[in-house]
Amino acid sequence: MYNVNPPRYPETNVDEYFKYTSKVVDGFAGLQIRNGIYGAVSSSESSDGDVHFCCDKALDTEVFLEVVNWVEANGKELLEASLKSFVEQYWEMRDLVIESLIDENPDEVVPEISSFEELTKLCGVVAIHVKGSGTKSEPRFGIEFGCTWEDEHGAGVSFNGLELIESGHASDAFDFE
């Protein structure tokens, strides 16, 4: 979420379209920091788990903050499910990325991986998009990632509670009902 400075939870701010907050989600610590334009890497350091959350401005603030807390409590499981869902996509995109590299070392940009855990060094959370549907125990939201294997569109997942609904491009994190 480039150029957005959401306040720290439990504070929120609202612009013309969205409501925002940010919170450290320990389960997302260790990923790349992706606060640059279009989800670009914005720091060489590993993330401490600080995540930007957003929702439609009409969503009740209490509901929004409940989902933020739910994601925080389930962060590790959400990250694992997300990364597992990206493995096939990673291998499909890897050869295309290698073909387009000019001066970069392929082993640094898209190295061979042997487990989903290795993707933590190749992606980072751009934002968590909260939807108004769902329940307290199974909220609807998406996680948008910036990643090395899909530099143009990023990667994304949508969830209903801990159930992964869709995995693919970044738009899958925010373009769902």
Per-residue pLDDT tens digits for 35-63: 888 889 988 899 999 999 999 999 999 99
What pLDDT is attached to residue 158?
97
For residue 132, pLDDT beyond 90: no
For residue 130, pLDDT beyond 80: yes
For residue 31, pLDDT beyond 90: yes
What pLDDT is attached to residue 59?
96
Angle in degrees, 0-180, between the axes of helices 75-100 and 61-73, rounded to the nearest 10: 80
Dump the DSSP string for 68-136.
HHHHHHTHHHHHHHHHHHHHHHHHHHHHHHHHH-SSS-HHHHS---SSGGGGGGTEEEEEEEEEEEE-S
- Quick check: 140 and 133 in contact, CB under 8 A? yes
Residue 142 CB neighbour total at 10 angstroms = 22
Q: Tell me the per-residue pLDDT of 80-125, one tens digit each, with 9 for 90 and over.
A: 999 999 999 999 999 999 999 999 999 999 999 999 999 999 999 9
Give the whole-number percent of the chain exceeding pLDDT 70. Answer: 100
Query: What are the residues whose beta carbons fall under 8 Å from the beta carbon of 154, sequence distance 6 or more?
Result: 38, 39, 126, 144, 145, 146, 147, 169, 170
